[in-house]
Structure 1
Amino acid sequence: MKILLISFAFPPYNASGSVRAGLLAEYLLARGHDVRVLTAHDPGYPATMASSFPPERVVATGWLNVFAPHALLRRARGGTGGSQSTTRTGLRQMLINLAKGLIGVPDGQIGWYPAAIRAGRKILRGWQPDLIYSTALPFTDHLIGHRLSQHIGARWVAEYRDLFTENPYGNTPDWRQGFDGYVERRVLAPATACVTVSALLAESLERRYGKRTAVVMNGYDPTGYASIQPTPELDPRNLSILYTGIIYPGRRDPTNLFAALALLSPAERAAVKVYFYGQELRGVEDAARQQGVADCVIIRPPVPLRQAQMLQANADILLLLLWNDPRERGVFTGKLFEYAGAGRPILTLGCEDGVAADLIRERGLGKVLNEPQAIAMQLRQWLADKAAGGISPPPIEAKMGLSRAAQFDVLMRFLSEIGFKDA
């Protein structure tokens, strides 16, 4: 089968979308499919992700950052405006948000659309795919999939790693909701089917757009954990709790963990270190300081995926932050599956009745806690376990079926059901 994969982010650029898209391309090629990739060059992420997918099969185009003038203006003015009044700063931010809402339709990656369409049509002149497969967010990927599929009459499947109009982490203004819904209906109308990462999100897509939707969860890559070596970044004398990723202030929030640390005795607290590795860790240091536990928290810059996997496999506990909000119920963060692959217990804070928390409890992958008292009790138990010889990992069967390959097998069965032939 000939497959054109459309993904704004793709290796070597290190983003969550790159992981899934890169491994999917490798998987499809290994199964004998003729795979080509259409992506953006230098999409704004570090070029630190290794991939075995042949670069000659990748077409990476330039793109226009439609928000670049805003970023330049902020830098020229020294960030938010320094000593200007709160009223003027608030008014300027409101105008900036309005401008971004008007320009970034459907999202800030719309500046990739013209170059992607030109490059896509060039690819299609001498090679016609059986399937066009776009993976989003950004939703611009689906605009491109829609347009190119209409151009040659190819069947098109739209994958949602996150929803667009019902995304709990979306930052588009409320007044755009109706228009975005209209755009999404029009764009998805000719799609053959949809793919997403949880049953709740699939139900939403099927209800709103009438498209048959498969559930293909994120997964972990076993090869990333095949030869783990001890890492000096984590002090083995302490109970090490590790978080890798970004922080959403007020949503994915470590404050309850810091409050739990404050409940420990000074000796217990001195034996715990919480490591944060990431690019956007806004508010972590302030939250730790407010709870009086800043000495327990270590903040470090992001690291390449392979190094992150080594850190995860060497940590005592892996910290997963979810938003404690009903809108989080259907969200499966890719971080959960990385953590499962690392084989260390997961401490989850946030939404307790969503798909992620259910998976962790059902498979014995870790603990889902929110009350500082309960978290403190669990920390004491882990401290005792570590002192007694070590903290036991989750059972090996806990991660069965959660690898990327196992989930991509689910995708191939679905594609076969809707008329695509496997190699």
Structure 2
Amino acid sequence: MEPKKILIITYYWPPAGGPGVQRWLKFAKYLPEFGWKPIIFTPENPSYPLIDESLMKDVPENLEIIKTKIWEPYQLAEKLNKSNKKFKAGQFDVGNNQSWKSKLSIWVRGNFFIPDARVFWVNPSVKFLEQYLKMNKIDVVVTSGPPHSLHLIGLQLKKQFPNIKWIADFRDPWTEISYYKHLKLTNKSDKKHRQLESDVFKNADVTLATSYTDAENFRKSGANAFCITNGFDESDSSNSQTLQSSNSPTKFTLSYIGVLEQLRNPENLWKSLDDLVKTNADFAENFRLKFVGRIDDKILDSIENSSLKSHIDNLGYLSHDKAIDEMSSSSMLLITNFPNESSKGIIPGKIFEYLETGKQIISFGPNEADVAKILDETKAGKHFSYQDSDVIK
């Protein structure tokens, strides 16, 4: 029996690093076991903020990968905001200390590139895939966002090929994501974002969310939505059976793995740890704060201006394999989510890899978050709001 074919349209693909690549890389790896043949459509020359060559090993040898060129306006964006490359990574400064260049780059991003700066890939991709679909039998098309502009590819293909099933996969929400309100949108731009989102919800045969709350919210907006959470791949660990007992740290080590921007900065945690270091000599002697990934410079500056400075191990971005090793060599692991109520449904993919290690987890985010429910059900840690302070001790 011939396997069914599923065309996966994704911007992030190895050697891209970071969380965006993991979900459909793993689906492509394991779908053949369930009678599906995945085909990947991805940019030939993408502008990835992070590179992780170690993920190439997960790409099946016989996987069909189709690539076309993409034009992205990030050279202009980075000239406007040279201090870092946050714009490209979906991050930006917030608060009263924004430079005029940062403010301009945010305004340009929200109002000129709708829904995002990969929108220039939509029409060329549709034109290419229209010909591909005429010549190749495809049963299902999947679009993975963000970038949500990829859903516009699916939207146009669905109109041209109504018999093909279309799955719109939302790894993060669109207009309900925490930073949406910081995009400085005009009323016209906001209306356009919301209309495009609504068009995707109403035309996709299935909308996937990575959390139950997001799926419920999508259904309220007219989507035929279901939840498939992220997970972990046991093969990512060289010896998954001994993860919980391996690499025990010599000191109490609290580790954060991943990207940390200002919107998810647990300031009260740093203050509490600072107080503990100052007032508890035993704790100070045996405490390390480890960062693995891209941490906002202003967050690092604020921590380094405290008593925590001599307790920090900032390892920078590591390959996925090495990041998992650092998780397993920690005493406790930290997760931070956006603080607003609309983000309570976001479940960071790394929580499942955190759970695999068996280490205790401390989490920050809105009350009644899906992450809190997972930690309660698994008894793997505790969740706090950003307003909590002394309770952390």
Deviations 1:281-328 (A, max 9, x none): 333322323442111112121111111111112211111112333222
- Does 159-168 or 186-195 show the bigger shift? 186-195
**SS of residue paired to 2:289:** strand
Whichever residue aligns with residue 24 of structure 2, its letter is A
Contact 2:335-2:362 within 8 A present in 1 as well: yes
Q: Relative to structure 1, is the Cα distance of residues 343 and 122 closer, same or farther in structure 2, using a 3 angstrom cutoff?
A: farther
Gaps of 5+ in 1: 80-86, 377-423
Match of 1:27 among 27, 30, 44: 30
- Pairing 1:132-147 to 2, within 5 Å after superposition: 132-147=141-156
In the alignment, what sits opposite 2:317? 302
> How many angstroms does 1:36 deviate by?
0.7
Contact 1:3-1:33 within 8 A present in 2 as well: yes
Deviations 1:118-172 (A, max 9, x none): 4423432321211111111111111111122323331211111111111113353
**SS of residue paired to 2:264:** coil
In the alignment, what sits opposite 2:71? 64
- Does 219-228 or 14-23 show the bigger shift? 219-228
Q: Relative to structure 1, is the Cα distance of residues 346 and 73 closer, same or farther in structure 2, using a 3 angstrom cutoff?
A: closer
Contact 1:38-1:120 within 8 A present in 2 as well: no
Contact 1:257-1:375 within 8 A present in 2 as well: no
TM-score, normalized by length of structure 2?
Answer: 0.84
Whichever residue aligns with residue 361 of structure 1, its letter is D
Contact 1:131-1:157 within 8 A present in 2 as well: yes
**SS of residue paired to 2:221:** helix
Name the larger-Rg structure: 1
**SS of residue paired to 1:346:** strand
Q: How many percent of aligned residue pairs carry the same amino acid?
A: 19
In the alignment, what sits opposite 2:338? 323
**SS of residue paired to 2:208:** strand
Match of 1:121 among 123, 130, 137: 130
> How many angstroms does 1:260 deviate by?
2.7
Contact 1:8-1:43 within 8 A present in 2 as well: no
Deviations 1:200-225 (A, max 9, x none): 2112111112x221111111111112
**Alpha-carbon distance in structure 1 between the residues aligned to 2:17 and 2:255:** 19
Match of 1:221 among 233, 239, 242: 233
In the alignment, what sits opposite 2:172? 162
Between the two proteins, the alignment pairs up a number of residues equal to 363
Where does structure 1 differ by over 6 angstroms across 4 or more consecutive aligned residues?
none
Contact 1:39-1:116 within 8 A present in 2 as well: no
**Alpha-carbon distance in structure 2 between the residues aligned to 1:280 and 1:334:** 18
Whichever residue aligns with residue 66 of structure 1, its letter is P
Deviations 1:83-131 (A, max 9, x none): xxxx9x8555444433333321111221322342244234323212111
Contact 2:206-2:225 within 8 A present in 1 as well: yes
**Alpha-carbon distance in structure 2 between the residues aligned to 1:141 and 1:280:** 27
**Alpha-carbon distance in structure 1 between the residues aligned to 2:79 and 2:99:** 19
Match of 1:212 among 205, 214, 224: 224
2:289 is the alignment partner of 1:259: no
Contact 1:66-1:103 within 8 A present in 2 as well: no
Contact 2:107-2:185 within 8 A present in 1 as well: no
2:387 is the alignment partner of 1:374: no
**Alpha-carbon distance in structure 1 between the residues aligned to 2:331 and 2:296:** 21
Contact 1:319-1:347 within 8 A present in 2 as well: yes
- Pairing 1:219-368 to 2, within 5 Å after superposition: 219-227=231-239, 236-253=249-266, 255-264=268-277, 265-368=280-383
**SS of residue paired to 1:109:** helix
Whichever residue aligns with residue 132 of structure 2, its letter is I
Match of 1:185 among 198, 204, 208: 198
Q: Relative to structure 1, is the Cα distance of residues 155 and 367 closer, same or farther in structure 2, using a 3 angstrom cutoff?
A: same
TM-score, normalized by length of structure 1?
Answer: 0.78
Q: Relative to structure 1, is the Cα distance of residues 29 and 252 closer, same or farther in structure 2, using a 3 angstrom cutoff?
A: farther
Aligned-pair Cα RMSD in Å: 2.7
In the alignment, what sits opposite 1:388? none
Q: Relative to structure 1, is the Cα distance of residues 112 and 270 closer, same or farther in structure 2, using a 3 angstrom cutoff?
A: farther
**Alpha-carbon distance in structure 2 between the residues aligned to 1:238 and 1:101:** 45
Contact 2:107-2:183 within 8 A present in 1 as well: no
Q: Relative to structure 1, is the Cα distance of residues 43 and 59 closer, same or farther in structure 2, using a 3 angstrom cutoff?
A: farther
**Alpha-carbon distance in structure 2 between the residues aligned to 1:119 and 1:279:** 35
Match of 2:51 among 43, 46, 52: 46
- Does 36-45 or 119-128 show the bigger shift? 119-128
Contact 2:18-2:258 within 8 A present in 1 as well: no
